[in-house]
Amino acid sequence: TWGTTLFAVMSATLLYAYIDTWVVQTIREGADQTPFAQLLLGALFKNGLLIGAWSALYYAINYFVRAEEQADQMMRLEAQATSAQLTMLRYQLNPHFLFNTLNSISTLVLLKQTDQANAMLSRLSSFLRFTLINEAAAKVPLTQEIETLKLYLDIEKMRFEERLRTFFTIEPAVQDALVPSLLLQPLVENAIKYAVTPKEEGADISVVAQLVGQRVRITVSDTGPGLQPGQQDFTLSTGVGMANTRERLLQAYGDDQRFEHYVKAGGGFEVLLELPYQTGIMAGDDNQAGAKSQGKISA
């Protein structure tokens, strides 16, 4: 390309300089005795600079346009990759949850407890409908997230009955705050597996949300045994669990978020999340429309 360009610029310069010199000498014939070769040399210098400058400008503009196109393409690819990763994380429901729920429904049917089986199946259907229809990258009001979480807990309560005790404390100031959909479900599922299941008497699970400055702080805690000897972390407990939640927070907020987990002094385990306080107006029309449509689906 560079060789062809240099040859074309030199050829165009020579032709342009020859024509320019011939025209000048023809017009000034008899009035100017400057030799043709001298005029041609001056024309070569002037026209070479002109054509070279225009060629350089063309390549500069072309390079800029190509760079912009590549940057746009890279941004689209990154957005698609992020969306695909969020979708993957979003749809990683624990298969044991589905298996246990369907097994419980089957048991209720065999025991001819059709009302309870129908209620459990209806709740499972509503929960899965929300999971599959809701967009992976969507953010929903915290009240809707809590209602979906309660729907999930209603299914689990039919299995664990009084062994599973839940408590919610949601400040009015954060009820409209937007959070990634199904953000809390893996954390509560984690608590059920490691706090409720091992103990005969079950355990309490508490969800607290409050406004701290311009940030939403959410804690999910339980009264289970906490970390046992030889058990270093819960991140692999359900195949997704807290690792799923941590990754989703990083994808949604980057470094502008906080995720911590620790064993409480009095026993039990607690997970703390801090997110930027956003509402439908702050997040834009897309999130607002998504939250409205999800609200209709949930209803």
Residue ranges of the domains in the chain? 2-87, 91-298
CA-wise closest residue to 187 among 130, 239, 245 = 245
- Out of 3.40.50.2300, 3.40.630.30, 3.40.720.10, 3.30.565.10, select the CATH number for domain 91-298: 3.30.565.10
What share of the chain has pLDDT > 70, as a percent? Answer: 79
Mean pLDDT of 90-119: 77
Mean pLDDT of 82-97: 62
Across 274-294, b (16+ Cβ under 10 Å) vs e yields bbebbebeebeeebbebbeeb
Instruction: Tell me which of 22-36, 141-155, 196-210, 276-290 is least confident.
Output: 276-290
What share of the chain has pLDDT > 90, as a percent? Answer: 20
**Residue 13: predicted pLDDT:** 83
Distance of CA 245 to the CA centre of its chain: 12
**Residue 83: predicted pLDDT:** 67
Token readout for 142 is 């915290």
**Residue 217: predicted pLDDT:** 95
**Residue 219: predicted pLDDT:** 95
Per-residue pLDDT for 291 more than 60? no
Per-residue pLDDT for 111 more than 80? yes
Distances (CA, A) of 116 to 104, 147, 153, 294: 10, 20, 15, 27
Per-residue pLDDT for 231 more than 60? no
Range ranked top by mean pLDDT from 121-135, 206-220, 275-289: 206-220
**Residue 134: predicted pLDDT:** 64
Range ranked top by mean pLDDT from 31-35, 208-212, 248-252: 208-212
Per-residue pLDDT for 166 more than 90? yes
CA-wise closest residue to 224 among 207, 200, 247, 243 = 200
Per-residue pLDDT for 298 more than 50? no
Per-residue pLDDT for 93 more than 80? no
Confidence category of residue 170, pLDDT binned at 50, 70, 90: very high
Mapped onto helix, strand or coil, the DSSP state of residue 179 is strand
Average pLDDT, the chain: 79
Mean pLDDT of 201-230: 87
**Residue 175: predicted pLDDT:** 92
